Amino acid sequence: MLNRVRSAVAHLVSSGGAPPPRPKSPDLPNATSAPPAAAPEAPRSPPARAGSGSGAPAKAVEAGASFSRPTFLQLSPGGLRRADDHAGRAVQSPPDTGRRLPWSTGYAEVINAGKSRHNEDQACCEVVYVEGRRSVTGVPRDPSRGQGLCFYYWGLFDGHAGGGAAEMASRLLHRHIREQLKDLVEILQDPSTPPLCLPSTPGVPVSSDLSHLVGPQSCWSSQKEVTHESLVVGAIENAFQLMDEQMARERRGHQVEGGCCALVVVYLLGKVYVANAGDSRAIIVRNGEIIPMSREFTPETERQRLQLLGFLKPELLGGEFTHLEFPRRVQPKELGQRMLYRDQNMTGWAYKKIELEDLRFPLVCGEGKKARVMATIGVTRGLGDHNLKVCSSNLSIKPFLSCFPEVRVYDLTQYEHCPDDVLVLGTDGLWDVTSDGEVAATVDRVLSAYEPNDPSRYTALAQALVLGARGTPRDRGWRLPNNKLGSGDDISVFVIPLGGPGSYS
């Protein structure tokens, strides 16, 4: 058992560990509905045949292993081959001709240095129109208000153990968000407190008199205040769960292999919602100040949640793992001795007598980028991974992985933003070798070289961040100017301007 765990290789085998089923969301359409002013969704860049000179779209060389890149890159088959070249690692950005991304958003990406066969990152940038369901509150619609809402959407999806989950999430997650917002269109346009219940039949008002259901000594003497902002947060959270459940249902027929971290930004009604599930990161750089808009979810940051689950449901550990953490692996010769440990309730350390069960492999092991859950995976939140098992075992890891994001909200209307204020989104390929402070310094250096009204400045900034993390090729791999190793991972970066040019409405 110890040898197979130490190998720390995730095998994708038969399914297991999927969350209990929930009612399905309404069928998702094939394209995002949008008003005339909104940018319609287009098909993704076609797969290309590696090494082929043909201009026709084609599958990649190996069977069943087609690859694609985001539509907005507008890559030709030849461009796809260059984007898939691990040796050259050319930085890819949208062309400087034609229609720009919303808000003049900048984007850049580069493939890994050989870590995986293809670039397993995916990205999405959309303007999505949400048409409200008819009179969900039971009150006739106010004709002075619009029939729907638009939200702006950016998403980065960092795949692992294959690119299928990231590709699927990049196509569908924003549609799940749209479906969740349909019930909220009227409510979000109404400044009054959101209704406690929605009618089961559209157009039929719900009685607000529930006194016959409440006893005289009930603790429910008052109703909790629910804000419009919290409704949007809940819609995003539900959309992540529905996306994960769809992956569980379709993982066989649609070859949804592996899993992915997801970092999503939604702009709606003056507020920016940043949802993160995984180890990607978002920061705002505003007037030189750094404002964190996410936190990473790793075995170290979520140790206590993982240990609590292992303590409450020991059957998930299969008799092979212990939920306790020790400074190092316990040796058989140390039975009966007192050793430092900590459990799900502790942030500090204490001593305990070593027992036979403590010889099992720890549920959480390693430090930093080498930290792993069940010696297998280094992230604890994301989408997919429904087939992930402990190496040479039938133990499913999915029960320990959460699909729910942490959502942080930033109110754009509370500040006067200048053109140099930006929201930077990056997969871990950027942040593994670049600190928040170094990103902020690059923001200042690059943007100061461009006129404030030059929309290409944000693409140039995204490219500079990717190039700075990738480094340059030398005899011993990709190196940074200080001769430290550059990032060998896929790197994807969005730069979203917060202060113009453009309008936020």
Q: Could you report the per-residue pLDDT of 15-45, keeping only the tens digit for each?
A: 333 444 444 444 454 333 333 333 434 334 5
What tokens appear for 198 in the block?
A: 């929605």
| Mean pLDDT for the stretch of residues 126-155 | 77
Alpha helices in 257-327 (DSSP H): 303-312
How much is the pLDDT for 145? 57
How does pLDDT run across 350-360, given as a tens digit for each residue? Answer: 999 999 999 99
**Reported pTM:** 0.84
Helix (H/G/I), strand (E/B), else coil: 334: helix
H or E element in which residue 127 lies: strand 121-131
What tokens appear for 78 in the block?
A: 């030849």
User: For the chain, what is the mean pLDDT?
Assistant: 84
Q: Which residue has the tokens 């419009």?
A: 228
Residues contacting residue 444 through CB under 8 Å, at least 6 positions apart: 288, 420
How much is the pLDDT for 499? 81
How does pLDDT run across 184-208, given as a tens digit for each residue? Answer: 999 999 988 888 888 766 555 555 5
| Mean pLDDT for the stretch of residues 138-147 | 58
Using 50, 70 and 90 to split pLDDT, how confident is the model at 251?
confident
- Among 238, 136, 266, 267, residue whose Cα is nearest residue 194: 136
Using 50, 70 and 90 to split pLDDT, how confident is the model at 468?
very high
Burial label, 231 (beta-carbon count in 10 A; 0-12, 13-18, 19+): middle
pLDDT of 323 strictly over 70:
yes
- Please state, as a whole number, how many other Cβ atoms lie within 10 Å of the Cβ of residue 475: 5
Q: Of 61-65, 238-242, 268-272, where does mean pLDDT reach its minimum?
A: 61-65
| Mean pLDDT for the stretch of residues 103-117 | 95
* CB 431 within 8 Å of CB 281: yes
Total number of residues shown for the chain:
505
How does pLDDT run across 253-305, given as a tens digit for each residue? Answer: 666 789 999 999 999 999 999 999 999 999 999 999 999 999 999 999 999 99
| Mean pLDDT for the stretch of residues 98-105 | 88
pLDDT of 120 strictly over 60:
yes
How much is the pLDDT for 269? 94
How does pLDDT run across 224-235, given as a tens digit for each residue? Answer: 889 999 999 999
Using 50, 70 and 90 to split pLDDT, how confident is the model at 219?
low
For the CA atoms of 242, 277, 153, 184, the dihedral, rounded to the nearest 10 degrees, stands at 50
CA-CA distances (angstroms) from residue 83 to 77, 193, 398, 468?
10, 50, 32, 18
* CB 195 within 8 Å of CB 206: yes
What tokens appear for 403 in the block?
A: 């699909």
